[in-house]
Amino acid sequence: MLCHPVGGVEINEILIALLSEVGFESFSENEDGTLKAYIQFDTYTPDLEERLQSKEFSFVLNSFEIQEIADQNWNALWESQYDPVHIDGICLVRAPFHTIVSDVAYDIVIMPKMSFGTAHHETTKMMIQYLLRTEVSGKSLLDMGSGTAVLAILARMKGANQVTAIDNDEWAYNNALENVNANNFGDIEVFLGDSGLLHSKHFDVILANINRNILLNDIPVYTSCLNKNGILIMSGFYSEDLPLIEAKAVLTGLKLVSSLEKNNWVAACFSFMEQQSQLLNDNHE
């Protein structure tokens, strides 16, 4: 959706917050002040469109335009614009058509399609940075809202021996299957679904890079699936949302261990309150 806000940076921030509340998942601001907001096709209902036209949004939104983005256009677009991403000097996320780099510890091949998780977005970069600094060898790990499964793949490269990737988008699910096989980690379990699949499952490390609303709803589920000495790392929300995320985590018995911030996006690591986490290393491997 292309939004035409009333005007001003603060108005855009308010509009983003309101759109997040009704199901929009990601945003990008154009130089002319317009705002692009993205939502799953099935989530955009006539009732939602009517709500966007109501007084609730009228003070921040002049008008908006709707465009359905066809899946088949993404591959050509990504191939023309997609650049490899280097993270902390030891991890490279690239497409198959990029030149192989031999001097990195972790060389991850991602097919550049529609799925979120190519490491270009700040949240994915921060999640990768956390994972690079986290000891996962021999541990079980969940990549929730996995997108391309880039985090699940990196976890296997680092020695995690039971890795599960879950996404509720069928396109992302199929792309994740393609990527785990392209990186020779076909033993990564990839599922199409949401937190409803987590009943009775337990993990040492849970990664969830989704959005604020889903995280707030699912934090109790993640906590119930976390092993005693486990950690939960989350991203997909803004710095002003961290107090809400932390408060919900505290209610489930978790404490904030640390956080990262890039361009107002945040990633945060949590462990159980009684646990003095030994899992995060200060130095890169």
Domain residue ranges in the chain: 2-65, 73-272
- SS3 percent helix, strand, coil of the chain, rounded to 5, is 35, 30, 35
The band of 113, judged by pLDDT with boundaries at 50, 70 and 90, is: low
Cα distance between residue 132 and residue 214, in whole Å: 25
Q: How far apart (Å, rounded) are the C-alpha atoms in residues 111 and 179?
A: 6
> 111 near 96, Cβ under 8 Å?
yes
Residue 213 has pLDDT above 60, yes or no: yes
pLDDT in tens, 151-191: 999 999 999 999 999 999 888 899 999 999 999 999 999 99
pLDDT recorded at residue 11: 83
CATH topology of domain 73-272: Rossmann fold (3.40.50)
- Angle made by CA atoms 59, 65, 68, in degrees to the nearest 5: 135
Give bridge partners of residue 109 from the DSSP assignment: 94
Name every residue whose Cβ is closer than 8 Å to that of residue 168 and which is 6 or more positions away in sequence. Answer: 145, 192, 193, 194
Contacts of 269 (CB under 8 A, 6+ apart): 130, 231, 232, 233, 256, 257, 258, 259, 277, 280
Extract the runs of DSSP E, i.e. beta strands, from 113-264.
Answer: 140-144, 162-167, 189-192, 203-209, 226-238, 254-262
Q: Give the pLDDT mean for 44-59.
A: 90
- pLDDT at residue 31 tops 90: no
Residue 279 pLDDT level (bands cut at 50, 70, 90): very low
- Tens-place pLDDT, residues 231-254: 999 999 999 999 999 999 999 999
Q: Please enumerate in sequence order all residues whose Cβ is within 8 A of that of 5, keeping only pairs 6 or more positions apart, or say none.
A: 11, 12, 15, 33, 34, 35, 60, 61, 62
Q: Is the pLDDT of residue 72 over 90?
A: no
The β-bridge partners of 272 are: 254
Q: Which residues contact 66 (CB under 8 A, 6 or more apart)?
A: 1, 44, 49
At residue 222, does pLDDT exceed 80?
Answer: yes
Q: What is the pLDDT of residue 99?
A: 80
* Structure tokens, 64: 């908006």
pLDDT at 116 over 80: no
Q: Cβ atoms within 10 A of the Cβ of 125, count?
A: 21
Burial 220-259 (b: 16+ CB within 10 A, else e): ebbbebbeeebbbbbbbbbeebbeebbebbeebbbbebeb
pLDDT, position 8: 66
Q: What is the pLDDT of residues 187-209, one digit of tens each?
A: 999 999 999 999 889 999 999 99
More confident residue, 235 or 120: 235
